Amino acid sequence: MDINKNIGYLNLPNFDNENFKKKLLKILKEVKGKKKLIIDIRNNKGGLTGNAMWLLSYLTNKKITFVFEYNNKKLKK
């Protein structure tokens, strides 16, 4: 979805779909060439960590650090 000709908008309600990458690649092609991309993860219900990591790896070539918190314990990956 586009907000205007320079800004694309992507709403991700979850990362829990076996077709996540395929669907996301299709959407990312639609917003290709935009100067900015809004990735809206408000109310995201979570899902497969690998899908979230894949998205970030796709968007940047920088090192990515994930911090998981469960029962007040943190785990970095």
Give 26-76 pLDDT, tens digit per residue. 888 888 888 888 888 888 887 887 888 888 888 888 887 777 676 776 666
**pLDDT score at 24:** 85
Res. 77: pLDDT tops 70: no
Residue with tokens 């809004």: 38
For the segment 9-23, the average pLDDT, to the nearest whole number, is 83
CA distance 56 to 15: 12
**pLDDT score at 74:** 65
Res. 3: pLDDT tops 80: no
